[in-house]
């Protein structure tokens, strides 16, 4: 995922210049070496490699990444080479190329993340693996998170979390809610719910506090100096492992065979009948928390902004949700699974928000061998980057791409042009849960609340995913009852 670069971008600090020069020379030789490919039948993709090592990373980060990619794409086409973080890299801007890497030839490309990130999340987590371990574990995670049966069971609990989150926003007048920050609490709680089912609040608080320290470490400069954000994150990571061990021990003592993700992980046996180790289980739990929290919270924050910016659309979404709200006796009866399946406009708003915001702008893989694609060679060891955001903003697939228009999803997008949850073997197993979480939240938000965004309304901040400036500070009110009469006037 994109978080990758934000960390390493810090390399640009001038204190490391000497080191950089040394590395540049080293890598320059590697680049020259790789140019031997031009003599073979296949050629390297077009593109300029920029300065060795620093490559074009600085350019990438000093500009809107969208502009960076599309300028290159105009010049070189759907596939071009460049340097990112000192690694030669091939960027892929077409649905066909992304499908080649992620789906049809995924066995030739393995995931690749910096070691510092792997250490924080845990090296046995799904993202980092390729092959047998990945596919068997993924099946388990997928069936636990995404089976319709398990999702249906979650509706009531997710709804309770949405209600209490929104209620906590009705603070004294003039108090601003940092929308993103608070939505992170919601998405964390939903993550905890799907991993542990109901978890003792003591454990929950300990996990929450320590995880938030780990979370800060994802985007800090990795180093060995005690007291730094990264080191604090590593210490908190150790405490998380202890807490998770205690929870597992307790479960085993009580012999509860729970049907949540932890239960599934504890019962897992591979083809040879071998169970997972404690470390493998905790790495995967932290991996899921990591994958579930900032992603969903960022998208929901964008949705609040898009709805706020388009009052007409907001009214239409309200109208759709009010019908369900009335069906449920003004919220006295719980939302049903079936109701969450019949929110067509709200669903399209979610899809369009996923497209517009494209919070996971691209991902990384690494070629495990020399790979030929469309007459080009991608040398072994090179990184490849499918550019999701570029594809989502290509007018060929999404006309007038900067315009927020949910109705474009009335017809399904062409295959492999819409990949907010990735594609292929590593695509997101939490996508249905994330959508459910957003639908339920929007239902309660628009039927019972009004909100006003405060301050600058146009900036974007990367934390690490793009979110509106300052996390979209806003004021929330409970909707007055008159409003209900607007929709259902007494005869």
Closer of 136 and 485 to ligand HEM (Cβ) = 136
243 and 210 Cβ atoms separated by less than 8 Å? yes
* 422 near ligand HEM, rule: CB under 6 A: yes
Closer of 145 and 240 to ligand HEM (Cβ) = 145
Rg (CA), the chain: 24
Residue 87 interaction partner, one of ligand HEM, ligand NAG, none, beta carbon < 5-8 Å per kind: none
Closer of 299 and 377 to ligand HEM (Cβ) = 299
Assigned token pair, 85: 């973080």
Residue 45 interaction partner, one of ligand HEM, ligand NAG, none, beta carbon < 5-8 Å per kind: none
* 194 near ligand HEM, rule: CB under 6 A: yes
* 191 near ligand HEM, rule: CB under 6 A: yes
79's CB contacts (< 8 A; 6+ apart) are: 45, 90, 91, 92, 93, 94, 97, 373, 374, 376
* 476 near ligand HEM, rule: CB under 6 A: no
Return the bridge partners of 55, or none.
Answer: 51
* 231 near ligand NAG, rule: CB under 6 A: no
419 and 388 Cβ atoms separated by less than 8 Å? yes
Residue 239 interaction partner, one of ligand HEM, ligand NAG, none, beta carbon < 5-8 Å per kind: ligand NAG
317's CB contacts (< 8 A; 6+ apart) are: 307, 345, 346, 349, 442, 446
Closer of 390 and 448 to ligand HEM (Cβ) = 390
Binding residues among 18-57 for ligand NAG as defined by CB under 6 A: none
How many C-beta neighbours within 10 Å does residue 198 have? 11
User: 428 labelled as ligand-binding?
Assistant: yes
Closer of 233 and 472 to ligand NAG (Cβ) = 233
Among 38, 48, 147, 242, binds ligand NAG (CB under 6 A): 242
From 325, 252, 327, 240, select the one nearest 285 (Cα to Cα): 240
Closer of 105 and 239 to ligand NAG (Cβ) = 239
Among 281, 288, 324, 349, binds ligand HEM (CB under 6 A): 288
Sign of CA dihedral 353, 334, 163, 452: positive
Binding residues among 296-335 for ligand HEM as defined by CB under 6 A: 296, 299
384 and 102 Cβ atoms separated by less than 8 Å? no
Instruction: Write each residue from 200 to 219 as x if it is in contact with ligand NAG (CB under 6 A), else as -, in one continuous string.
Output: ------x--xx---------
* 291 near ligand HEM, rule: CB under 6 A: yes
Residue 363 interaction partner, one of ligand HEM, ligand NAG, none, beta carbon < 5-8 Å per kind: ligand HEM
* 429 near ligand HEM, rule: CB under 6 A: yes
Q: Give the shortest CB-204-to-ligand NAG separation in angstroms.
A: 11
How many C-beta neighbours within 10 Å does residue 14 have? 7
44 and 73 Cβ atoms separated by less than 8 Å? no
Among 55, 88, 379, 430, binds ligand HEM (CB under 6 A): 430
CA neighbours within 13 Å on the CB side: how many for 285?
31
* 243 near ligand NAG, rule: CB under 6 A: yes
From 314, 302, 315, select the one nearest 438 (Cα to Cα): 302
**DSSP conformational letter for 463:** S
100 and 423 Cβ atoms separated by less than 8 Å? no
**Cα–Cα dist 162/437, whole Å:** 8
The DSSP H or E segment spanning 142 is: helix 132-146
Residues that constitute the known binding site: 428
Residues that bind ligand HEM (CB under 6 A): 1, 126-127, 138, 141, 145, 191, 194, 287-288, 291-292, 295-296, 299, 359-360, 363, 420-422, 426-430, 433-434
Q: Which residues are annotated as a binding site for heme?
A: 428
């Amino acid at each position: 995922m994109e978080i990758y670069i934000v960390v390493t971008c810090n390399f640009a600090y001038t204190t490391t210049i000497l080191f950089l020069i040394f590395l540049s020379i080293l890598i320059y030789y590697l680049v020259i070496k790789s140019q031997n490919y031009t003599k073979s039948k296949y050629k390297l993709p077009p593109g300029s490699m920029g300065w060795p090592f620093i490559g074009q990373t600085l350019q990438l980060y000093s500009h809107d990444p969208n502009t960076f990619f599309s300028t290159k794409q105009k010049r070189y086409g759907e596939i071009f080479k460049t340097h990112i973080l000192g690694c030669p890299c091939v960027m892929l801007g077409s649905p066909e190329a992304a499908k080649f890497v992620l789906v049809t030839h995924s066995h030739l490309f393995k995931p690749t993340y910096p070691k510092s990130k792997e250490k924080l999340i845990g090296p046995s987590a799904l993202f980092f693996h390729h092959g047998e371990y990945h596919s068997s574990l993924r099946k388990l995670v997928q069936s636990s998170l995404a089976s319709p049966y398990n999702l249906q069971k979650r509706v009531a609990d997710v709804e309770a979390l949405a209600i209490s989150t929104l209620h906590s926003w009705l603070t004294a007048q003039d108090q601003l809610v940092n929308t993103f920050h608070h939505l992170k609490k919601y998405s964390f709680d939903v993550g905890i719910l799907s991993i542990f089912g109901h978890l003792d609040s003591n454990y929950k608080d300990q996990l929450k506090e320590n995880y938030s320290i780990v979370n800060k470490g994802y985007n800090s400069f990795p180093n060995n100096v005690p007291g730094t954000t990264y080191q604090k994150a590593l210490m908190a990571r150790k405490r998380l492992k202890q807490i998770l061990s205690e929870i597992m021990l307790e479960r085993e003592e009580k012999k509860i065979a729970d049907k949540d993700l932890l239960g599934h992980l504890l019962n897992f046996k591979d083809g040879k009948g071998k169970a997972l180790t404690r470390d493998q289980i905790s790495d995967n739990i932290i991996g899921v928390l990591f994958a579930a929290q900032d992603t969903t919270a960022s998208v929901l924050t964008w949705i609040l902004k898009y709805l706020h910016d388009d009052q007409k659309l907001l009214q239409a979404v309200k109208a759709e949700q009010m019908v369900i709200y009335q069906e449920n006796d003004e919220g006295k009866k719980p939302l049903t699974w079936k109701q969450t399946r019949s929110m067509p406009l709200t669903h399209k708003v979610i899809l369009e928000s996923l497209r517009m915001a494209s919070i996971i702008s691209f991902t990384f893989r690494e070629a495990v061998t020399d790979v030929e694609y469309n007459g080009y060679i991608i040398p072994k060891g090179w990184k490849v980057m499918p550019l999701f955001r570029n594809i989502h903003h290509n007018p060929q697939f999404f006309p007038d791409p900067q315009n927020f228009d949910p109705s474009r999803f009335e017809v399904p997008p062409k295959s492999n042009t819409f990949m907010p949850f990735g594609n292929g073997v590593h695509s997101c197993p939490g996508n249905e849960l994330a959508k459910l979480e957003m639908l339920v939240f929007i239902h309660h938000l628009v039927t019972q609340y009004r909100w006003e965004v405060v301050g600058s309304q146009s900036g974007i901040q990367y934390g690490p995913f793009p979110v509106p400036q300052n996390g979209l500070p806003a004021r929330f009110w409970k909707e007055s009852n008159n409003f209900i009469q607007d929709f259902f006037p007494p005869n």
